[in-house]
Amino acid sequence: MMLYRQFATQEEIDKEYDVERSVPDFQRYVEFNINESKKARDELECLLDVPFGPTVEETLDIFPAQDPDAPILVFIHGGYWRANRSKEFSWVARGPVALGFTVVITNYALCPKVTLPEITRQSRAAIAWVRRSSKTFSGSRRRIYVAGHSAGGHQVAMLLHTRWMDDYGLPRDAIRGGFAISGLFDLQPLRFSWLQPILQLAEDIVQTQSPLLRLPDRAPPLFVSAGGAESSELRRQSADYLHAWKAAGLRGWSFEQPEANHFMAIAGFVDKESKLCASLKRVVETCEAG
């Protein structure tokens, strides 16, 4: 009996989805995140721990551009919804800020303290706050873009599925475009993984929080990327989602990173000259061209 697709055991699923074990030197990436993020906060102008919601975890860090009409990039970190915080990803602001973006890095509560629907609510609340509060920092509320990595890529998709007018009283184009990197779009296999006791994925959560299972009728453009050195399942998740997205009549493109592993897939954000930052610029150009 198969648990999911061609996988019959938890061990087979874990091998595909345990990203920390997919590299021989995971601790190196942890140390990079901590050390380079501290340097970024020391060297870049920033507004830290700005509250956007009622709970203690609902804060964001803002790295403003000089131009009051700058595009705003909201970045959502990964960690399988159960690890990391905004402070470990301050370094992501370096490249986009150098390109003239205001960068907003969100923090959110983690599982098992909360479940995925609450994390999605917090991400949506962060966007609503940015939209309504952009006059308090440099950046245009009409030029909001979202990017996320891993679990953050999942949140990007959920944000693009949001009914902004119906649920928040905001324009339907509150977000102009999305960039989902190494995202998770079908949560079904995670129910059979080592993550299940932490994520508590009931069937209703899988159905409502799997972007692949509930495509929107309309949405802004989406760029999807995954590293070529990632597991076949993570690459498939991105490919399947983009295929379904385009089949639904929505605009979407992919950005190839053939040599990147799961953690290196966002490394380009550190350098404005990187291919990843060039792709980010292309997101904005594509979305604003109409």
Domain ranges of the chain: 10-288
Distance CA 81, CA 141 (A): 27
Is the pLDDT at 194 greater than 80? The verdict is yes
pLDDT, average across residues 218-234: 96
Which option is the CATH number for 10-288: 3.40.50.300, 1.10.1740.10, 3.40.50.1820, 3.30.300.20? 3.40.50.1820
Give the global pTM: 0.97
Q: Which residue has the higher pLDDT, 134 or 211?
A: 211
pLDDT of residue 282: 86
Do the beta carbons of residue 184 and residue 19 sit within 8 Å? no
Residue 37 in 3-state DSSP? helix
Is the pLDDT at 254 greater than 90? The verdict is yes
Q: What is the pLDDT of residues 120-174, one digit of tens each?
A: 999 999 999 999 999 899 999 999 999 999 999 999 999 999 999 999 999 999 9
Of 144, 76, 125, whose CA–CA distance to 283 is shortest? 144
pLDDT of residue 289: 84
pLDDT of residue 287: 85
Do the beta carbons of residue 238 and residue 254 sit within 8 Å? yes
Using the Cα atoms of residue 260, residue 266, residue 17 and residue 207 in order, give the sign of their dihedral. Answer: negative
Compute CA 213 distance to the chain's CA centroid, rounded to the nearest angstrom. 18
pLDDT, average across residues 23-41: 97
In the chain, pLDDT over 70 holds for what percent of residues? 100
